[in-house]
Amino acid sequence: MAGAIAQRVSGMGFALVVAPVLVLLIGPFDGVLMVNICGAASALMVTTRVWRNINWRLYLLLAVPAVIAVVPGSIVAANLGGPTLQIAVGAILVLALTVSLLVTRGSLTTPIGPTGIIAGSASGFMSATAGISGPAVGVFAVLTKWQHDSFAATLQPYFVTLGVTAFVGKLVASGFAPLDYDWWLWLLVIACTVAGLIVGEFVARVVSHGVARLCVIGISYVGGIVAILDGLSSS
């Protein structure tokens, strides 16, 4: 619910909030897998509200290399040991957040084509390994001066595509092991995600985007660091 509220208020906070927590609760592989499918469900709901602002050309530019990069990312995630993957997830999160913050402060502008391919590939790989696809495309938006309304809208079908692709790819790479969880658990988590989006509609009216973004960044940093420390203590 907290991740869905963050997604609705700030635009791209779902995985940043949820991934570190689920990694600690149910493990790095299963936790990120759940982030993938719940993030896709969350973005799908938002997509219906922002359809007119979606830039499908830039969506394809990012999504095609991202989907391709999900394949090696899924293989890495399925074969890394638990503590090692947990440390990697935490490190990727902290690094991605730091790069995003540093780039936001700069004034550099880069070509859209090559930058989009690189950003999409990095985003796809990170989605499969850490469940975090937003920071890489966020950097792309800053570097190319992408208008915010179009960027936020285009991210939603992009997140749906990556979430579903990463979910299916990791299930295949792991031999469908995560499906051993009871069916009601998956339904409950998805239901809470939907409930969080509904609550987020009201929260968005009273909380500014700046405050929401700072909260997401703070929670994500703490979660990433805790995931790294917990992985190191378990290795």
Predicted pLDDT of residue 158:
94
Q: 58 to each of 14, 121, 186, how far by Cα in Å?
A: 22, 14, 32
CB 61 within 8 Å of CB 210: no
Between CA 133 and CA 113 the distance in angstroms is: 18
Predicted pLDDT of residue 117:
94
Predicted pLDDT of residue 205:
81
Predicted pLDDT of residue 138:
78
How does DSSP classify residue 181? S
Residue ranges per structural domain of the chain = 2-234
Task: Quickly tell me which residue has 């979660």 as its tokens.
Answer: 223
Query: 3-state class of 196 per DSSP?
Result: helix
Rounded to an integer, what is the distance from CA 192 to the centroid of its chain?
Answer: 17
Predicted pLDDT of residue 153:
86
CB 114 within 8 Å of CB 19: no
* Residue 91 one-letter amino acid: A
CB 125 within 8 Å of CB 71: no
Write out the chain's pLDDT in tens, 235 residues: 888 887 777 667 787 788 778 878 877 778 878 888 888 888 888 888 789 999 999 999 999 999 999 888 888 877 876 677 768 777 877 887 787 677 666 565 667 899 899 989 988 888 887 777 777 887 788 778 888 778 888 988 999 998 898 888 878 877 766 556 677 877 888 888 889 988 988 887 887 767 766 776 676 677 678 768 877 876 6
CB 166 within 8 Å of CB 73: yes
Rounded to an integer, what is the distance from CA 21 to the centroid of its chain?
Answer: 13
Q: Phi and psi (nearest 5°) for 153?
A: -70, -45
